[in-house]
Every structure is written in C-alpha cells, then in structure tokens.
Amino acid sequence: MATANYGPTLERWLQRLANAGRSSRTLAAYRSDLDDTMATVAGLHRLVPDRRTLERLPPDDRERTLLGAFDELDLSAVTFDELDEAIAEFRTRPDPRFRTNPQRAPEERAPATVARRTAAIRTFFAWCYATDRIPADPAAKLEAPKRRKRMPKALTQDMASDALEQSGQGSRWPERDELIIALALACGLRLEEIATLRLDQVQGDPPDALIVRGKGDKERRLGVPPVVREALAAYLPTRADRLDTLRLEARTVVISSRPRPIKNRAGDAIGVTVESSRETVAYVVDRLLRRVGARQAQIRVHALRHTFATLGLREGAFSLRQLQVALGHASLATTQIYTEVADEEIAAAMQLHPLSGSRSPRL
C-alpha cells in the first residue's frame, strides 16, 4: 500500500466531492475543519511547533510550515487517540471570535460545532479506508457529542412586521436592505442562500419564482410573495446603476456597497468584486435587529428564517410537509421542531383549563 500523505490526499478527496456536486461552501468547511485538526495531529508527530508557537508565526511562515507538514504527514500513522486529542484541544481552545471580549467567551465550543468537526473527520478517514489509502480507519469509533435540543428563536409577529417596515430606515442603500429582510422573513431563506442568490435564479417579469440552491446543493422553487416582488422592483434599478458606476459585473442579486478584493488561498489579491458576502447580509440584519430592539443572544440572521417558519405554521399558511419543502429541509423531522409549543403558550393554556380556577372555600 502506497503512503497516503495528508496534503495531496485531502485535495483528491475534495476534488471527488466537487465532482459529486458538493457546494464550494461545503468543501471550504471540510477543508477548514480538517486542516485545523491535522495541524494538531502534525504537532503530536513533531512536524510543526506547538499551536501557541505556530500562531505567533507571521501568516506566510505559518502557511508554509503547515503545508510542508501536511505533505509529510502519513495518514496511516494517525491514531484514534491523536484524533480524539485533537478534538478535545479544539473543544476547549478559546474561541477567536471572542478575542476582544474574552469574558464573554463560553468555556467550551458548542456541541453542534464539535459534532460538525467530528463528522468531517469521520467522513474523510472513512473514504481513505474505503479507497485503500490506509490499512485501518482510526476515526471509526469517534463519537460526536449529543446536541442540546433548543427551540428556535423567533421574532413575534409584531416585531417581524416592524422589521419589514423599518428595514430601509437609516440605511445608505435602503432598497437593497429592504430586499434582504424580505427574503429572510417572507421567503425563509438562509443567510447563505440570500448571499448567493443569482440574478438568473429570479424568474419571470415581474418575478414570480425564485430557484434557491440550498444545503447539499439541492434546488427548490419558491413563489415570490408581494413584499419581495415590490422590493425587487425597487432594488434592481439601483443595482444596475451601482454596477454601471463601478464598471463591474455581478451574478448575485444582492451586491455590496463597495468593491472588495478577491484573494487566492495564499492571500494575494487577484481582482475585485461587489458580489454579496455572508458578512454583508449579516451586517444588514444585525443593524435592523438593533433598531427594532430584537438584538439579543441567539437572535441573529437565522432567527428571521425561524420567524418565517413559526408564523407560517402557526397561522395555517403551510402544512408541515409544505413548510419542509419551502425551507429546503431534507428530513421532515427537522421541520417538526416548529410544531413544539413554546413554554409561554403552555403556561397561558394552563390558565384556561376548566379545572385551573381557585378552589371555593369550604363551609
């Protein structure tokens, strides 16, 4: 059996996934999770310095050091204990997103985040074993943490209505921001789906359908509600004017206010673009949530999608099966979380029960 070194083997696996139709974002997530894991494993094999020393290196030196180690790391020499240790190190490592506010950082990474990384490791090593690149699968017995079941956070109907009405207020590009909020609240699109929606996926004149490419690169066709149709009619002319002024082209419906550099993996600028990014969409939604007083823990972009689903099911606009299709869920079990009754609704119902009144005093 030939030696399977991590670097070239990862590239071959990602190419296989791309050929199978996996999205570029999925491939990037796999690469990020695996590279970070194997950096820890490479340290255990003494191919790179410890993580603290590694992170102190200049970015270019760190990249060269890791790529050299990845090309040298023999996957057949990787053990279960090393992978388990790498996951434990990641789980307890300080989250860099809280670097400026470390007091707000959680003690450990969320179970869902650790579970995603564990799944990536298991999938990669299972493929290596199935294609005879390694003699045994060291990841086969890795167990993902159990995910805590949480009710989706959603806005109230009044808050959602206020969000739609105020979505363009205080914005430098109100037409664009109104469209972003309408796509989230009235169509239930994910952040990624809003950012990557292309102009050729808006069908009809006036628009009557959206072809949305969701998780797993699966497409679904959605009707265009009036609020989104009106937002598109107001926004698209301003989009065309902005592109003419900048002398640029863009495939995405939503575009950024300013050009930003396009960089290759080495960090070199190779051009500019105004095509939408996740950061553009998240910024617009966060600013609006602050305006309507709804910005709090677990209320982010995805909360607008939860609001679309919760209100649509509660008001009878969708059957459960219709909602599954509209949201692009692969499994009905995922959609069924919206059928759960909130604690405050149960408390209110308890007060209305015929036997819930106070007892009459005995004579």
Cβ atoms 332, 320 nearer than 8 A: yes
- Given the residues 117, 133, 305, 306, select the one marked as catalytic: 305
- Given the residues 215, 251, 260, 314, select the one marked as catalytic: 215
Active site residue 329: yes
Helix (H/G/I), strand (E/B), else coil: 238: helix
Instruction: Find the DSSP H helices in the chain.
Output: 6-19, 24-44, 51-56, 59-72, 80-92, 111-130, 157-166, 174-187, 191-196, 226-246, 278-291, 301-314, 320-327, 332-335, 343-352
Between CA 277 and CA 77 the distance in angstroms is 39
* Model confidence band, residue 266 (pLDDT cutoffs 50, 70, 90): low
Residue 351's pLDDT is 67
Cβ atoms 14, 30 nearer than 8 A: yes
Helix (H/G/I), strand (E/B), else coil: 160: helix
- Given the residues 22, 260, 295, 302, select the one marked as catalytic: 302
Q: Which of 211, 213, 206 is nearest to 192 (CA)?
A: 213
* Model confidence band, residue 98 (pLDDT cutoffs 50, 70, 90): low
Q: 10 CB contacts (<8 Å, ≥6 apart)?
A: 31, 34, 35, 70, 124
Tokens of 341: 């009754």
The string of pLDDT tens digits covering residues 187-211 is 999 999 999 999 999 999 889 999 9
> Which part of the chain has CATH 1.10.443.10?
157-345
Q: In the predicted model, what is the mean pLDDT of residues 261-282?
A: 82
- C-alpha dihedral (206, 179, 301, 347), degrees to nearest 10: -80
- Given the residues 109, 117, 176, 190, select the one marked as catalytic: 190
Residue 345's pLDDT is 57
Residue 158's pLDDT is 87
Residue 117 has pLDDT above 90, yes or no: yes
Task: Please tell me the CATH code under which domain 157-345 is placed.
Answer: 1.10.443.10
- Given the residues 6, 30, 129, 338, select the one marked as catalytic: 338
- How are strands ordered across the β-sheet holding 209-213? 202-203, 209-213, 219-223
Residue 86 has pLDDT above 60, yes or no: yes
Q: In the predicted model, what is the mean pLDDT of residues 61-74?
A: 92
Q: In the predicted model, what is the mean pLDDT of residues 314-320?
A: 83
Residue 100 has pLDDT above 70, yes or no: no
Between CA 52 and CA 223 the distance in angstroms is 51
DSSP 221: E
Helix (H/G/I), strand (E/B), else coil: 225: coil
The string of pLDDT tens digits covering residues 209-241 is 999 988 877 889 999 999 999 999 999 999 999
Residue 12's pLDDT is 95
Q: What value does the mean pLDDT of the chain take?
A: 86
Between CA 137 and CA 4 the distance in angstroms is 13
The string of pLDDT tens digits covering residues 325-355 is 888 888 888 787 777 655 555 566 666 666 6
Active site residue 305: yes
